[in-house]
Amino acid sequence: RHHNTFHNEEYKNIVGKMREKKLIELKAVLRKQQSIFTKPVAENVAAVTASYLLLHAFAKKSKSFMEGDFISECLIIAAEELCPHMINKFKSISLSRNTVANRITDIASNLSDQLRSVALNFEVFSIAIDESTDLTDIAQLAVFIRGCDRIMTITEELLEVIPMHGTTTGDDIFDALMIAIKKYNLPMNNLVSLATDGAPSMTGVTLGVVGRLKAYFKTHHNKSVQHFHCIIHQQVLCSKVIKIDNVFKTVAKVVNFIRARRLNHREFMSLLNDVESENKDLPYYTEVRWLSSHKVLRRFLQLLYEIVIFLEIKGYDCSELKDFNWIQDLAFSVDITGHLSQLNINLQGRNLLITSLYDQINTFKQKISLWQIQIKKENLSNFSSCKTLLLEHPELKFDKFEKQLKMLEEDFEKRFSDFQSSESHLNIFCSPMSVDIENIDENL
């Protein structure tokens, strides 16, 4: 009996080991079979993910959908040289035109969903709208939002771009704005301000967007909403008060004579190479892109000597370019447009509060006052082009530009008067310890 028991236990051990070995073999076979399916799935997921990442960068750079195939070719060429054993992975990244369109649409939809979920936490929000016409003459209404949640996290995004195929009256724009707000489930009671440009359809008291919005709040919420004219837009309008049309007219005419004719342009470039000029070309001036005015005027002044030589060779009347009064106006134009362009750049950017923007405007107004005093005393420390010209021609007088600066200062005061009415509220955030507390709302 003892002998049989021993053999039974040994038999059980042998059978157990055989079963364990068989189980290990079966698990290995199973893992091998599973890898046959999971490995391609993982590779496909990676290829799709890479496609979405590439197309996200694609959309941010506003590239044509047609260029997807070209990008795919570039990836394959690079892979053939760097990692030929992984060439099939790069070939599996789909960037065809239909794929580009569909996946960019998916990305846009996902971003809208993210913004919709974030907007649910806004305690207050403000809206900025701007209407412009695209290349196909269809009006596009851009709606921007800035919201603040309970823990003071600021979110600033492009909310919607709404095509407007019909008219663009104040009623049309207001209705489109309301549709966008309802689409994202934004509570109208939390809207505190609206920023627009100065077009009548925007700022009209009765039929404009501002008038319709204020009437809506008075009827439905018994409260008021603040309206601000876009600071950057007003600054651009202020810059137009400077009377330098005589300079722009001549510069545009000469630039067009040189750039619009290919032979003239080639010969002018050859002249610059011959004289070993540091500046290799003369840029166009586009009135719509007004910030380019400073770059064009500055380059024109730098190349004035070469331009005169070229025009004389061509038999072009350039007597005005030799007139020191006109050159003086050109130098002043270069300096003042430089200051205005720098102010415009300082006003641009994301997540800038109205307090900092208004500080930039007030600072610039103080600068204008200083420049008037300085230029009256022939102190040109803030006008480098004029200072260089004065060193070459000491007989020139620049105090005549004091009137131009005075007009600029007055226009800044007039256009930004609507901000002065809100200055007491803005000062709470700029310098809270210097505010008269008796004039502040009790809740603040």
pLDDT at 1 over 60: no
3-state secondary structure (DSSP) of residue 440: coil
pLDDT band at 363 (very low <50, low <70, confident <90, very high): very high
In 10 A of CB 292, how many CB atoms?
A: 16
- Give the Cα-Cα-Cα angle 332, 335, 339 (nearest 5 degrees): 135
Strand-by-strand arrangement of the 139-149 sheet = 154-164, 139-149, 122-133, 191-196, 226-229
pLDDT tens digits, residue range 379-427? Answer: 999 999 999 999 988 888 888 899 999 999 999 988 887 777 777 777 7
* Rounded Cα gap, residues 330 and 386, in angstroms: 9
Q: What pLDDT, on the 0 to 100 scale, is given for residue 371? A: 94
Q: What pLDDT, on the 0 to 100 scale, is given for residue 12? A: 66
pLDDT band at 31 (very low <50, low <70, confident <90, very high): low
pLDDT tens digits, residue range 98-107? Answer: 888 888 888 8
Sign of CA dihedral 273, 277, 278, 280: negative
In the chain, what is the straight-line distance between the N-terminal and C-terminal CA atoms, in Å?
98
pLDDT tens digits, residue range 78-94? Answer: 888 888 888 888 888 88
Q: Do the Cβ atoms of 209 and 173 come closer than 8 Å?
A: yes
Q: Which amino acid is at 247?
A: V
